[in-house]
Amino acid sequence: MTLEELKSEMSALGEKSFRAKQMYEWMHVKLAEDFGQMTNLSKELREKCQGEYSYTGLKPLRVQESQTDGTKKFLFELSDGNTVESVWMRYKHGNSVCISSQVGCRMGCAFCASTLDGLERGLLPSEMLEQVYAITRLTGERVSNVVIMGTGEPLDNYDHVVKFIRLLTDENGLHISQRNITLSTCGLAPQMRALAGEGLQITLALSLHAATDEKRRQLMPIANRYGLDELMEACAYYFEKTGRRITFEYSLLSGVNDRREDAAGLIRLVKPLNCHVNLIPVNPVKERDFRPTAQEDVIAFKNKLEKNGINVTIRREMGRDIDGACGQLRRQALKE
Ligand code: SAH
């Protein structure tokens, strides 16, 4: 619930509206784990809430810590027994959490482990928030950046994701800066346009992975629905409405999209936009046949883009030794 919703809920219970403010602070600032911890509320109110409302909690089932970079991967159990994974990464500029937005995914990208078993359901705003809150409690450190890049397609769970972002960035809550939030999508053009109109200052990342419709359709089924022209127009619109530079994610798959003509196509495609390209060496997934591009070829690809005036970075790989890529930990746990 937003603070406003909580206020009307409290007044329906006959409580004063400052109770809502106190309760909201327990939930979103002090990160209480249940109503019982809210010690400045009357015992009567706490018990009433415990009886009549549900309070989202996630049970940490597994934690894996990378021996090389300290990245931690968490597998959480939801109240219905489903599991989701989230990743905590420590950077010089602060701690970043990568959250899941759905249980599974129905987008079917050819290189991704998260989609192998299809979609179970979208996550509630509270279940997304709680990934950030639980990790804050477990690590004892503040989270400054959140990327919605874990399992699931966030724009396929649009209303819940937008509400989650509003709660996460609310000044009465944890108050994470909107500029420190990135939402990654495989390219649902209408929802990208809708997001542009939400009045948010978050970064939109588009998973491109190919510079022609033909090649993109081989990798990403969603490309059959929305072509590159439509996506680029949606990106330009997002920039126009928000002033936020677009990020394009491009996973390099050896022999598939990493050749000279692929770089040239990518340059032509993104050059007109105010953007940033993030190259990702593909994370090999057992069930899939893709191999990562060799390091020197990644650098050559990057150099080509740079020579053409495009902002480009190579994503630092973290947590490779702990199944860092989308969906791999959950899958392994499911199998076991
Ligand atoms: N559904 C959203 C967000 C989740 S995936 C999206 O598609 O953008 C986050 C990013 O990781 C996407 O760019 C996705 O294409 C990429 N990705 C998925 N599996 C990968 C793999 N095995 N190696 C490298 N990148 C991968």
pLDDT tens-place string over residues 28-60: 999 999 999 999 999 999 999 999 999 999 999
Most informative mutation of 102, 112, 151 for ligand 1 (most atoms within 8 A of CB): 112
Report d(CA 105, CA 111) in Å as an integer. Answer: 13
Distance 75 CA to ligand 1 centre (A): 18
Count the neighbouring beta carbons within 10 Å of the beta carbon of residue 158: 18
Instruction: Give 326's pLDDT tier (boundaries 50, 70, 90).
Output: low
What whole-number distance in Å separates Cα of residue 174 and Cα of residue 132? Answer: 10
How many other C-beta atoms are found inside a 10 Å radius of the C-beta of residue 22? 17
Find out whether 38 and 23 touch, Cβ atoms under 8 Å. yes
The active-site residue out of 15, 49, 85, 235 is 85
Percent of the chain's residues with pLDDT above 70 = 98
pLDDT the model gives residue 78: 98
* Residue whose entry in the numeric block shows the structure tokens 């089924």: 221
Please tell me the predicted confidence (pLDDT) of residue 323.
67
**Helix/strand/coil for 57:** coil
Of ligand 1's listed atoms, the one at least distance from the Cα of 156 is 1
| pLDDT for residue 68 | 86
- What pLDDT was estimated at residue 69? 86
Provide the 3-class DSSP secondary structure of residue 217: helix
The pLDDT assigned to 319 comes to 72
pLDDT higher for 131 or 289? Answer: 131
Residue located nearest, by CA, to atom 24 of ligand 1: 282
Q: Tokens in use for 244?
A: 């936020």
Entry pTM = 0.96
What is the SS3 assignment for 76-92? Answer: EECCCCCEEEEEEEEEC
Task: For residue 184, give the ligand 1 atom closest to its CA.
Answer: 8
> What is the dihedral sign for C-alpha 282, 142, 244, 234?
positive
Residue 329 pLDDT greater than 90, yes or no = no
C-alpha pair distances (Å), 41 with each of 11, 25, 112: 15, 12, 46
Report pLDDT for 334.
Answer: 81
How many C-beta atoms surround the C-beta of residue 66 within 10 A? 17
Instruction: Find out whether 34 and 50 touch, Cβ atoms under 8 Å.
Output: yes
Amino acid present at 153: E
Task: Ligand 1: list residues with CB < 6 Å.
Answer: 107, 109, 111-112, 149, 153, 184-186, 207, 249, 251, 280, 282-283, 285, 325-326
Q: How far apart are CA 59 and CA 39, in angstroms?
A: 23
pLDDT score of 331 more than 90: no
Whole-number pLDDT of residue 10: 95
- Tokens 């989308």 label which residue? 326
State the alpha helices, DSSP H only, in the chain.
Answer: 3-12, 17-28, 43-52, 125-139, 158-169, 189-196, 213-219, 228-242, 260-270, 295-307, 328-335
The pLDDT tens digits for 138-193 are 999 999 999 999 999 999 999 999 999 999 999 999 999 999 999 999 999 999 99
d(CA 109, CA 27): 36
Q: How confident is the model at residue 285 (pLDDT cuts 50, 70, 90)?
A: confident
Q: Which residue's CA is minimally distant from atom 2 of ligand 1?
A: 185
Give the pLDDT of residue 324: 58
Work out which ligand 1 atom sits closest to the CA atom of 327.
19
Higher pLDDT, 324 or 135: 135
Q: Residue 325: is its pLDDT beyond 70?
A: no
Whether the pLDDT of residue 317 is over 80: the answer is no
Span from the CA of 209 to the centroid of ligand 1 (angstroms) = 9
Distance 105 CA to ligand 1 centre (A): 11
Does the structure show a pLDDT above 90 at 267? yes
Q: How confident is the model at residue 216 (pLDDT cuts 50, 70, 90)?
A: very high
- Backbone torsions φ then ψ of 205, nearest 5 degrees: -110, 130
* Summary mean pLDDT of the chain: 94
